[in-house]
Homo-oligomer: A and B are copies of this chain.
Amino acid sequence: MTITGPNRTTGCKTVALLAYDGCQGSAIASLIEVLDIANLYGARGDPRAEPLFRWGVVSPDGRAPVAMGGLDIAVGGSPASVPAPDLVFIPGLHFTGDVAHFMQQIASLAQDCGAWLRAQHEGGRVVAVSCAGAFVLAESGLLDGRKATTSWWLGKLFRARYPRVDFREGELVTQDGRILSSGAFTACLDLALRIVEHFGGPALALSCAKVLLIHAKRDSQFPYMTLQARVAHQDELVLRAESHIRSHVRETLSVEQLAAELATTPRTLNRRFREVLGCSPKQYIQDLRVEGAKRLLESTDLDFGEIVERVGYVDPRSFRRIFERATKVSPSLYRRMFSISQG
């Protein structure tokens, strides 16, 4: 797939999509299709109109990579084969849980494409990444001091590795100057819409959204997050506290009580939790309760008041506040999003 003809001399925008081994092929295919649809709807009524977008797929070495899941993707050459793109897109990368291997892939990509990416950005082009693609940009230093996001399950790793980036946890799409980033897998669709909006305006983006069946205004990744495994640790006191909490989540549970139970003081408990788990005991309990409520919303028809009681709260109003802070959606919307039972 190669680019033909000129671009910057006209109103037509050129997009270069970077494919590489193990990349999320659907992000590339989706973006292409969204641009294709935008071309169709943008030229409504005039079939001879110049298309709004052109695009080409490239790879670091110019050879066809094998995407995630084993799909072969044909490319038009190395990055140099798309002269003067208006936008560069880097898809994500599957993370299987092996941090070392993952970071090594990122480092290798950054080495191959970092200089090119920096040059593109300095040359005034828009750079858009989705999912783990943000790591490549961060590694290349392009995100220092800038807003960015990534897949929700990579958030902690990202924040730890790149403290200089203005990391926006849980956001779906971020924009900072000419740098766009987006979250997990299908967030690339929201990113694609943002790109269409950027070059073609909000009305065109909305038309595309309706054809594609995407909310034009999905707002965050928060509702999708699940409680991740805590860091392993050896703190005997905290371990005992965790165990005690786990077996009493359903009951009213105060930190003071808990401290007494473990023959220590609230202050110590607080300090140790923060040190080892990075949060307060109360927070820990709340997280568990919210996760419990999510399970009940997903798998039962109990009404919210009942669920509130089951996870150890009395007042629906307060627990709703906590639930919404964690998930960024209301309980009923959460249920509509993730209910397992038939509807």
Residues of A bordering B, CB below 8 Å: 1, 24-26, 28-30, 32-33, 35-37, 40, 55, 57, 64, 67-74, 94, 96, 153, 172, 183-187, 189, 202-203, 206-207, 209-217, 219, 221, 224-226, 298, 336-340, 343
A219 touches B30 (CB 8 A): no
- Residues of B within 8 Å of A207, CB to CB, are 226
- Residues of B within 8 Å of A72, CB to CB, are 1, 73-74
A186 touches B186 (CB 8 A): yes
A33 touches B40 (CB 8 A): no
- Residues of B within 8 Å of A35, CB to CB, are 69
**Assembled-state Cα–Cα distance A25/B224 (Å):** 26
Residue on B with the closest CB to A197? B340
A26-B26, A69-B36 in contact; A203/B340 too (CB < 8 A)?
Answer: yes
Residue on B with the closest CB to A335? B217
- Residues of B within 8 Å of A203, CB to CB, are 340
- Residues of B within 8 Å of A26, CB to CB, are 26, 29-30, 32-33
Q: How far is the CB of A186 from chain B (nearest CB, A)?
A: 5
A215 touches B338 (CB 8 A): yes
- Residues of B within 8 Å of A298, CB to CB, are 206
A29-B29, A40-B96, A74-B74 in contact; A224/B217 too (CB < 8 A)?
Answer: no
Sort A-B residue pairs by CB-CB distance and give the 3 closest, nearest first.
Answer: A72-B74, A26-B29, A32-B69
A216 touches B340 (CB 8 A): yes
- Residues of B within 8 Å of A71, CB to CB, are 1, 28-29, 32, 57, 73-74
Residue on B with the closest CB to A183? B213
Q: 24 pairs across A/B with beta carbons < 8 Å?
A: A1-B70, A24-B29, A25-B29, A26-B26, A26-B30, A29-B29, A29-B30, A29-B69, A32-B68, A36-B69, A37-B94, A57-B71, A72-B74, A73-B74, A153-B211, A186-B212, A186-B214, A202-B340, A210-B338, A213-B224, A215-B337, A216-B340, A217-B336, A217-B338
- Residues of B within 8 Å of A210, CB to CB, are 224-226, 338
**Assembled-state Cα–Cα distance A183/B214 (Å):** 12
Residue on B with the closest CB to A187? B213
Q: How far is the CB of A29 from chain B (nearest CB, A)?
A: 4
